């Protein structure tokens, strides 16, 4: 069992929130289909590359954090501030990748519900996850984290 004393105590685990957003979007589309692209557009060919690039970003972020010796899951302690790889450009590349996969899936499946799921998913991630993580990192790493935060934007 993970030691939860030294964690961010997020509202929900991000992969669970992401999976729920996808499942709800797909279920709503099954009940009430809401296509949003012109019928003659190759939706799969447009959305596929977006999702693929987003997955590459997420994998790059996980590999970078793991190589730095820190934990990826939010229920495990963060051991260091990672400033290399995608973390040079955004403090939250994994969540950014999740957002972009959702966009890519919405395009690939021509599913407006998936696109609409971005709003609640983004709110949950921003206020139920990122806010908790930022407060935790500030408490744990102090000036080191504050310096990183001042150099690198939260999203892009």
pLDDT digits (tens, 9 = 90+) for 62-93: 999 999 999 999 999 999 999 999 999 999 99
DSSP state of 33: -
User: What pLDDT, on the 0 to 100 scale, is given for residue 139?
Assistant: 97
Residue 50 to residues 115, 128, 130: CA-CA distances in angstroms?
13, 26, 23
Q: What three-state secondary structure class fits 8?
A: coil
Q: Is the dihedral of CA 93, 98, 101, 103 positive or negative?
A: negative
How far apart are the C-alpha atoms of 116 and 130, rounded to whole Å? 20
pLDDT digits (tens, 9 = 90+) for 41-56: 999 999 999 999 999 9
pLDDT digits (tens, 9 = 90+) for 18-33: 999 999 999 999 999 9
User: What pLDDT, on the 0 to 100 scale, is given for residue 151?
Assistant: 98
User: What pLDDT, on the 0 to 100 scale, is given for residue 5?
Assistant: 82
Are 145 and 137 in contact, with CB atoms under 8 Å apart? yes
Residue 72 to residues 48, 66, 124: CA-CA distances in angstroms?
26, 7, 18
Domain ranges for the chain, please list them: 14-151
pLDDT digits (tens, 9 = 90+) for 85-142: 999 999 999 999 999 999 999 999 999 999 999 999 999 999 999 999 999 999 999 9
Give 4's pLDDT tier (boundaries 50, 70, 90): low
Give 1's pLDDT tier (boundaries 50, 70, 90): very low
């Amino acid at each position: 069992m993970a030691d939860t004393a030294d964690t961010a105590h997020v509202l929900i685990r991000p992969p669970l929130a992401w999976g729920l957003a996808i499942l709800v979007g797909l279920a709503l589309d099954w009940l009430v289909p809401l296509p949003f692209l012109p019928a003659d557009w190759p939706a799969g060919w447009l959305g596929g590359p977006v999702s693929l690039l987003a997955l590459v970003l997420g994998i790059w972020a996980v590999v970078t954090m793991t190589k730095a010796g820190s934990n990826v899951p939010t229920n495990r302690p963060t051991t260091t501030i990672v400033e290399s790889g995608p973390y040079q450009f955004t403090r939250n590349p994994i969540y950014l990748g999740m957002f972009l996969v959702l966009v890519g899936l919405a395009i690939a499946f021509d599913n407006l519900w998936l696109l609409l799921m971005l709003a609640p998913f983004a709110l949950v991630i921003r206020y139920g996850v990122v806010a908790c993580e930022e407060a935790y990192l500030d408490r744990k790493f102090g000036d080191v984290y504050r310096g990183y935060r001042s150099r690198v934007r939260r999203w892009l």
